[in-house]
Copies of this chain bind each other. A is one copy, B any other.
């Protein structure tokens, strides 16, 4: 059978744009002689619409979009993801469904059975699970139509307290009883650099176990924090993958399931993939929000330099503006490094010294500070003065502020709320400092864009004389290893210590993570590239006793 895989980038709630995009792919598939074109999970709405699914007018628009798309399916059939209403008086209002559109109408609808409700996933909040397993006949073949998690009843786990079987049923086990010819899976599976093989491993096991080929169509593009990486594929019953679509971009391919071929995809290392994810994340955030221009503070340090380089790739050099805001503690090399970066990238940059405002704040506060010794209060005044300046430019010119905090800092609360934690989007909040270095080298792979000195100098917030990050934090290689074990691997402090880390260091770090939940609560949305990013996928109580 000739099937088209349509891997598209949707915009949440933009029914018009999504519908037009889907119809365009249907016509393309028809022209190329496909009998069926497959789209991804919740294609009509974009994944994930969250509580918009609770709004009647939203569901109505999704239904209208499906009907409009169905009218295009006269000489070709399409499988399209969209919500549908649960007509039973009992259970959640909606199903997460796959619509088979054929002969100008909705031929049949199948619903998702396994609803992921962990990490960033909230599907039980809105959907009732399917409990009926039926095959869909199409052109003499029997299709087993599944949606994303439906094939994940057995899944890899990252730590021993996780479970590999989160669900009580196996949809493919049920469907296989009806001897299907082909499994189709409509997906919305996000990118995680440290779980990149999970998807193929999981589906390959299913294909071999049930001796069934699988057509897998994923979404691509970023929806605020979540980056979908595409990489749709056709998987044969022997576990080989003869067809694979592009990563981090839209792609489209018509395959013959009896004789599938395609040009091979080059797989890059995880740093190159994180790089692609972040550029796509920035680009889609701006495009889908209707913004064009970014602004950010340039400190001369590696984090702001990396964000600036990524932003220029995503938005173009004419749409990124850098602001240097030196204080009396800023070293000469910081200013030079920031200027050099801006020149290397060819972006507009301006300089505003902060000292006069900082002095004025300190002067006005002096009568109330009771001659107490300088502490974090004075340091934060500097960071917040910069925050005001860059937000003033943002407000005046409509440039969106990019946040430059990395995951290591975000984890331990090394940053000033309402100061350098400001921003519309956090670009590096899910990238550990050790990977910030690797990404910077990657950016410089062909020529020096990020100044060498920004990469090699000891990291410093420069909020007091001769300050270094290592004054209050362990070395980043230790810090990041402990954080990864605590956050991604979900290990207890004792378990981390038993891996050979110093007890004092581990307890200090985990305590800092716990004590800074309140800061992260007010963080901008963070582009997610790992299996456990701060934000929506990691829900920790604020008011709690953390030991």
Contact = CB atoms under 8 A, between A and B. Distances in A.
B368 A543 contact: no
A166 interface: yes
Given A90-B165, A361-B357, A544-B13, A54 B380 contact: no
B91 A546 contact: no
Interface in A27-49: 46, 48-49
Contact of A541 (B12, B54, B493): B12
Given A93-B161, A117-B124, A124-B117, A52 B544 contact: yes
A57 B495 CA distance: 10
Contact of A224 (B361, B384, B542): B542
A543 B392 contact: no
B375 A352 contact: no
Contacts of A396: 365, 368-369, 372, 375, 377
Interface in A157-205: 160-163, 165-168
A13 B544 CA distance: 6
A476 interface: no
A524 B525 contact: no
Nearest to A546: B13
Copies in the complex: 2
Contacts of A525: 521, 542
Interface string A350-392: 1011001100110011001100100111101100110111011
A494 interface: yes
Contacts of A141: none
Given A521-B525, A523-B522, A492 B56 contact: yes
Interface stretch (A100-108, A283-291, A434-442, A467-475): A283-291
Given A56-B492, A352-B368, A418 B424 contact: no
A261 interface: no
A523 B522 CA distance: 6
A538 interface: yes
B17 A539 contact: no
A221 to B, nearest CB: 10
A465 interface: no
A493 to B, nearest CB: 8
A364 B352 contact: yes
A352 B492 CA distance: 47
A90 B167 contact: yes
Contacts of A292: none
A340 interface: no
A71 interface: no
A356 B361 CA distance: 9
Interface in A205-239: 222-224
A365 B393 CA distance: 8
Nearest to A424: B518
Closest 5 CB pairs of A and B: A14-B545, A377-B395, A124-B124, A57-B492, A12-B544
6 contacts: A13-B544, A46-B544, A49-B541, A51-B539, A117-B125, A289-B542
